[in-house]
Chains A and B, each alone.
Chain A
Amino acid sequence: MAGWLIHSAALGRQGGAMAGSGTTVIEVNDLEKRYGDRLVLRGVSFAVEQGEIFGLLGPNGAGKTTTVEILEGLRRQDAGTARVLGLDPRARRGDLLPLLGVQLQASELPARMTVGEALALQAAFYEAPVDPATLLDELGLAEARRTRFGKLSGGQRQRLSLALALVGDPRVAVLDELTTGIDPAGRRDVWDLVERVRERGVTILLVTHLMEEAERLCDRVAVLDGGRIVALDTPTALARAAGSGTTIRFRPSAPLPAGLLAGLPGVGSVTQTGSTVTVSGTGELAHEVIAVLARHQIVAADLRVEQATLDDAYLSLTGPRGDGPAATDQPVTDQPATGQAPATTRRS
């Protein structure tokens, strides 16, 4: 299955699978862009290290696609700088494009072109492409090789567009809405493939609005809203910073001694409704609570532990107004984002 990936890795492409080799591959500084009167990017800065999977998250109109289109050399920023592999995406287009794999958000092919033909043609654009047949196999498209684009399902089209982005064996891949239209099982296959691509040292910039995808794949995530980055951290740190922390609900087998839980480290509040006790707090809350219950020989029935997710973080950062495009014209907040962490933080 992983044929071409393993092969490429064996050829010694910058082996260091996980991020942390310290080489900055994508660097964006104070990017500004306006369309007419509308300011869509208001000073976006971030840096992506080699081998990292970096996510751009945010509601529609937040500026995600504009940001990646500047990095792909499709648009020119009004202010600020963008560098990919140290190259200016517009001035050094000719040097950058052979090293870049791009999956555009919405891109079709001629309806009568087959999957195999499309991939073979794209492979001819690059000096050392990967084997199209193996790539099709890995993306579950081997059987659709002779199928015309017009007859493909949405998920198959999306996989083909990923194959087109990867067939040139890029050093940097920019994937816009990677798994849109793919069913949950297919989504996992695609995520596995992206992880294997990263293991070869390929740096990946991922635009997504699927929290699950960001949590699963991304080492770090930048949340964009209204044209600025409102948070930048690992998915776990963002979730933790979202504030709600951990909530535990259970029915104790015996009445709880007064103050038993309230005094534990990390506990914020203890409430009881009927027979159900709810404890909220931070840190190793579940462990602390269960340990102390055990010491008092109280069994916690119907125990439920709820962790704040990236979803919560995302909603608290971008506000409850969801994807209303109308929201994007307004500045998010006057204060610097609370979730912002040093750009070097990464998942261990």
Chain B
Amino acid sequence: MTTQAAPEALPRGDALAARRTRTARVLGAMTRSEARLLWREPVIVMFAVGLPVVLVAILGSVPAFRDVDPELGGVRVIDLYLPITSVMAVAMLGLNLTTVTLGGYREKGILKRLATTPVSPLLLLAAHGLVVAGTAVLVAVLAHLVGAVAFDVPVPEQPVGYALAFSLTIATLVALGLLIAAVAPSAGAANGIGTGLFFPLMFFAGLWAPREAMPDVLVRISDATPLGAAVGALQDSMAGSWPGAVHVGVMAAYIVLCGAGAARWFRWT
């Protein structure tokens, strides 16, 4: 380093740091804005936030569901349903909110307008992902709180594993939602595809019959679906072990494949 180079190198580093600070500030502003917009959508808030919590309360109120069921491997139905309802919240956010929001942003020309500003439209996608993640965590915490306080559902015995599995669940569903928004011709179509996928995926997650009550072959299929793998990984962490390699691998594969597909096919305009 010569003495002449030093004063040049410093401002350049400063400029880079300044740009990073600005990007972080813009991401913060966009995330707050996205969060505000989400809370102004009463239907989404009711379904994605309210419904899972209410479902825990209703299921927990059924006395039989609070009894240990030997056919389910010695756990109670309500214990099994906590991961399922948490996953349901993430599924609604990823399959409905993400698809409609991003499809709408493209249709309304919002992404195109961003492309004419110094800010990348990718930042808006990131802000949206953060809001989905934040909301999902909030719902899961609320559901577990209701479960723990009202029905003595134990907290996850492997909390770090549980957090890891839940993070993967969020990433999987945001990636899936992005892929749908990327390939669907319109926001309406994206919403249709998302809703259409929600029910089969939630079936394999065990919403109608928990994985513990499924025949072997259904469990195998469930393991290979994004939400089945998510519930499996969460249930393992509830019971005290780390999420299994199969479930983590399945979710990671969905994240990579859906993410790559979204990156490949996403149109900004």
Contact = CB atoms under 8 A, between A and B. Distances in A.
B115 A110 contact: no
Nearest to A117: B33
B20 to A, nearest CB: 14
Contact of B25 (A72, A122, A124): A124
B36 interface: yes
A98 interface: yes
B66 interface: no
A108 B118 contact: no
B112 A104 contact: yes
B37 A110 contact: yes
B109 A108 contact: yes
B108 A125 contact: no
A74 B116 contact: yes
B30 interface: yes
Interface string B109-125: 11011011111000000
Interface string A138-182: 000000000000000000000000001000100000000000000
B118 A125 contact: yes
Question: Would you call the interface of chain A mostly helix, strand, loop, or mixed?
Answer: loop
Contacts, number: 61
A120 B30 CA distance: 10
Contacts of A258: none
Nearest to B111: A107
Contacts of B118: 94, 97-98, 125-126, 168
B200 to A, nearest CB: 30
A121 B29 contact: yes
Interface in A96-125: 97-98, 100, 102, 104, 106-110, 112-113, 117, 120-122, 124-125
Interface of B: 22, 25-26, 29-30, 33, 36-37, 40-41, 104-105, 108-110, 112-113, 115-119, 269
Given A74-B112, A74-B115, A117-B33, 4 more contacts: A100-B116, A102-B113, A113-B33, A121-B33
25 contacts: A72-B116, A74-B116, A74-B269, A97-B116, A97-B118, A98-B118, A102-B113, A102-B116, A104-B109, A104-B112, A104-B116, A107-B112, A108-B108, A108-B110, A109-B110, A110-B108, A113-B33, A113-B37, A121-B29, A121-B33, A124-B25, A124-B26, A125-B118, A125-B119, A168-B118
Interface of A: 72-74, 94, 97-98, 100, 102, 104, 106-110, 112-113, 117, 120-122, 124-127, 164, 168
